[in-house]
Amino acid sequence: MKPIEVLKKYYGYDSFRGQQESIIRQVLEKKDCIALMPTGAGKSVCYQVPAMVLPGLTLVVSPLIALMKDQVDAMNEIGIPAAFLNSTMDISEQRHVSDQAMNGGIKLLYVAPERLFSGGYPLVNALKEMNLSLVAVDEAHCVSQWGHDFRPEYLKLGALRKAFPETPFLALTATADKLTRQDIASRLSLNKPEWFISSFDRPNITYRVALRSDAFGKLVDFLHLRPNDSGIVYCLSRKSVEATASKLNANGFSALPYHAGLSKDIRQENQEKFIKDEVKIIVATIAFGMGIDKSNVRFVVHTNMPQNIESYYQETGRAGRDGLPGEALLFYSLGDSITLRRMIESAENEDYVKHMKAKMNTMVQFCQTKSCRRRYLLNYFGEEYPQDCGNCDVCFQKNNKSDMTVFSQMLLSAVVRLGQQFGLGHVILVLRGSQAAKVTESQKSLSVYGIGKDRSEDFWKRLGFQLIAEGYLLQEDPKMPVLKLSDLGWEKLKLKEKFLLSMEEEVFKRTESST
Ligand code: ADP
Ligand code: ZN
In angstroms, the CA 515 to CA 511 distance is 12
ipTM over 0.90: yes
In angstroms, the CA 106 to CA 76 distance is 10
What's the CA angle centered on 177, arms 115 and 144, to 5 degrees?
A: 30
In angstroms, the CA 329 to CA 232 distance is 10
Residue 515 has pLDDT above 60, yes or no: no
Q: Looking at residue 511, what is its pLDDT?
A: 43
Amino acid 333 reads S
402-414 residue pLDDT tens: 778 888 999 999 9
Q: Report helix, strand or coil for 478.
A: coil
Determine whether the shortest distance from the Cβ of 87 to ligand 1 is under 6 A. no
The ligand whose atoms approach the alpha carbon of 323 most closely is: 1
Determine whether the shortest distance from the Cβ of 47 to ligand 1 is under 6 A. no
Q: What is the dihedral of CA 5, 8, 13, 19, to 10 degrees?
A: -20
Which residue lies with its CA nearest to atom 18 of ligand 1? 42
In angstroms, the CA 215 to CA 304 distance is 10
User: How many Å lie between the centroid of ligand 2 and the Cα of residue 377?
Assistant: 10
The ligand whose atoms approach the alpha carbon of 399 most closely is: 2
Taking the CA of residue 14 as reference, the ligand 1 atom at the shortest distance is 24
Q: Which of 177-191, 247-261, 286-300 has the lowest mean pLDDT?
A: 286-300
User: How many Å lie between the centroid of ligand 2 and the Cα of residue 399?
Assistant: 10
User: How many Å lie between the centroid of ligand 1 and the Cα of residue 63?
Assistant: 19
Taking the CA of residue 17 as reference, the ligand 1 atom at the shortest distance is 23
The ligand whose atoms approach the alpha carbon of 322 most closely is: 1
Pocket test for ligand 1, best of 5, 10, 14, 17 (most atoms within 8 A of CB): 17
Is residue 134 within 8 A of residue 140, CB to CB? The reply is: no
- 143: DSSP letter: G
Determine whether the shortest distance from the Cβ of 168 to ligand 1 is under 6 A. no
Determine whether the shortest distance from the Cβ of 40 to ligand 1 is under 6 A. yes
φ and ψ of 178, to 5 deg: -65, -45
In angstroms, the CA 207 to CA 316 distance is 9
User: How many Å lie between the centroid of ligand 2 and the Cα of residue 378?
Assistant: 11
User: How many Å lie between the centroid of ligand 1 and the Cα of residue 14?
Assistant: 13
The packing angle between helices 457-469 and 405-417, to 10°, is 90
Q: What is the mean pLDDT of the chain?
A: 89
In angstroms, the CA 493 to CA 498 distance is 9
108-165 residue pLDDT tens: 999 999 888 876 667 888 898 899 999 999 999 999 887 778 888 899 999 999 999 9
In angstroms, the CA 55 to CA 134 distance is 10
Determine whether the shortest distance from the Cβ of 45 to ligand 1 is under 6 A. yes
Determine whether the shortest distance from the Cβ of 195 to ligand 1 is under 6 A. no
Q: Alpha helices, DSSP H only, in 150-214?
A: 157-163, 178-187
Determine whether the shortest distance from the Cβ of 37 to ligand 1 is under 6 A. yes
In angstroms, the CA 177 to CA 511 distance is 41
Which residues are placed with Cβ below 5 angstroms of ligand 2, an ion?
372, 374, 389, 392, 395
Instruction: Label residue 173 by pLDDT band (50, 70, 90).
Output: very high
Which residue lies with its CA nearest to atom 16 of ligand 1? 42
Give percent above pLDDT 70 in the chain.
Answer: 95
User: How many Å lie between the centroid of ligand 2 and the Cα of residue 207?
Assistant: 8
The more confidently predicted of residues 382 and 510 is: 382
Q: Looking at residue 375, what is its pLDDT?
A: 95
Pocket test for ligand 1, best of 13, 14, 170, 205 (most atoms within 8 A of CB): 13
Pairing state between β 57-61 and 132-137: parallel
Is residue 23 within 8 A of residue 196, CB to CB? The reply is: yes
Which residue lies with its CA nearest to atom 15 of ligand 1? 42
Enumerate long-range contacts of 354-359, CB under 8 Å, 24 or more apart: 355/146, 356/307, 356/308, 359/148, 359/307, 359/308, 359/309, 359/310
Instruction: Label residue 478 by pLDDT band (50, 70, 90).
Output: low
Q: Looking at residue 291, what is its pLDDT?
A: 58
Which residue lies with its CA nearest to atom 12 of ligand 1? 42
Interacting residues of 489 by C-beta distance below 8 A, sequence separation 6+:
412, 467, 471, 472, 473
181-233 residue pLDDT tens: 888 999 999 999 999 988 889 988 999 999 988 889 889 989 988 889 999 99
Task: Using CB atoms within 10 Å of the CB of residue 505, give its burial: 0 to 12 exposed, 13 to 18 middle, 19+ buried.
Answer: middle
Determine whether the shortest distance from the Cβ of 44 to ligand 1 is under 6 A. yes
Q: Looking at residue 509, what is its pLDDT?
A: 64
User: How many Å lie between the centroid of ligand 2 and the Cα of residue 151?
Assistant: 34
pTM above 0.80, yes or no: no
In angstroms, the CA 108 to CA 83 distance is 6
Taking the CA of residue 39 as reference, the ligand 1 atom at the shortest distance is 4
In angstroms, the CA 481 to CA 437 distance is 20
306-340 residue pLDDT tens: 999 989 998 999 999 887 889 999 999 988 989 88
φ and ψ of 54, to 5 deg: -75, 155
Taking the CA of residue 37 as reference, the ligand 1 atom at the shortest distance is 3
In angstroms, the CA 288 to CA 299 distance is 14
Residue 272 burial (CB count, 10 A): 11
The more confidently predicted of residues 372 and 145 is: 372
In angstroms, the CA 423 to CA 480 distance is 8
Q: Of 83, 153, 151, 92, which Cα lies nearest the Cα of 118? A: 153
Is residue 233 within 8 A of residue 257, CB to CB? The reply is: no
Is residue 428 within 8 A of residue 464, CB to CB? The reply is: yes
